[in-house]
Amino acid sequence: MDGEAAAGGKREGSMKTSDFAYSLPPERIAQQPAEPRDSSRLMVLDRRNESIRHDIFRNLGDYFRPGDCLILNDTKVLPARLYGARPGKDERVEFLLLREREAGLWECLAGPGRKAKEGASFSFGEGRMFGDVQEVLPGGNRLVRFVHEGSFFAALEDVGEMPLPHYITEAPKDASRYQTVYAKTSGSAAAPTAGLHFTKGLLASLEARGIAVGYVTLHVGLGTFRPVKAARVEEHTMHSEHYTIPAATAELIRRTKEQGGRVVSVGTTCCRTLETAAREHGQVVPCEGWTNIFIYPGFTFRCADALLTNFHLPESTLIMLVSAFYGREKTLAAYETAAREGYRFYSFGDVMLIE
């Protein structure tokens, strides 16, 4: 990473993973989404005067001005959790789709792994889909070849379940609540959670106020939720995720910057997508590829002017990204304030706007 540490952070190379720890009472972890979506609480952090305001998400437009633009991630979460039966065996093996290597061939997590050896065959959904383990990869992931009638994604809708983070103990009654209202391109193992607060009506009202909306796609991998095991931040290796930035979005960002507006990144996934393109091309241009960009204090932001994001797990790459944008000490202080003020945390929790 390049540049000096963000305000309140430490210089690159001097940070421990434990520098991003904080305590959270278990009751602050949201188990169900707010109803309606835009009734979530909104903490607004103003970097210019270091003020904190408390509001409701439906009032988000009050913090923008005509000429600003919102960039959202339109990825759609797959029902990526599958339970397979082995012929003649009274047991289930869980598979979690990670990414498609080629048509019909997916890299998966499997558990228990000893039941998913190379050459093992499984039936899903009482024979609506079949899978053969082609290879056990270094690190333990499996390559599985799936066989089904018709479209893979249509078959997956029949036999798969929505994967949820481990800290959510009960699935929402309506599975669509773990999708954004603008989800379009299937491929994610997890939701871009900052976008869960938007309603179609709120997006329309923002556009009516002169706030443009653009979309990128980044398929969120499960590495997002994996803990950072390295003792020192810079020793952590990020997972790779596939992204796409269409021409219309690149042009919107160019025009917004040129006219003095702000680019508001909705979520860490959007932020990583935009900053990847800006670093590789000098500015955001139409492009696609794989990114393993790791943003932590010391990073120089080239695109995002404001960040909308949920409250994240301690010692996670997500809170490190937020700390790069706002400053480590100020981020942790804001989290303490949120816990004290009764904000709800993590995927189904409340949200902060850092401007």
**198, 115 contact by CB (below 8 A):** no
**352, 42 contact by CB (below 8 A):** yes
The SS3 call for residue 43 is strand
Q: What is the pLDDT of residue 170?
A: 86
**271, 295 contact by CB (below 8 A):** yes
All structural domains of the chain, each given as residue ranges with its CATH number in brackets, are: 17-77+173-354 (3.40.1780.10), 81-159 (2.40.10.240)
Using the predicted structure, report yes or no on whether residue 10 has a pLDDT greater than 60: no
Q: What is the pLDDT of residue 191?
A: 94
**102-148: pLDDT as tens digits:** 999 999 999 999 999 999 999 999 899 999 999 999 989 999 999 99
Sign, CA dihedral 239-240-241-244, equals positive
Average pLDDT of 180-189?
94
Average pLDDT of 146-166?
91
Q: What is the pLDDT of residue 339?
A: 97
Q: What is the pLDDT of residue 87?
A: 83
Q: What is the pLDDT of residue 225?
A: 64
Using the predicted structure, report yes or no on whether residue 330 has a pLDDT greater than 80: yes
Q: If we measure between CA atoms, which residue out of 354, 355, 353, 267 comes closest to residue 56?
A: 353
User: 239 Cβ partners below 8 Å, 6+ apart?
Assistant: 221, 222, 223, 224, 226, 292
Burial of 319 (0-12, 13-18, 19+ CB in 10 A): buried
- Name the DSSP class of 255: H
Average pLDDT of 18-29?
96
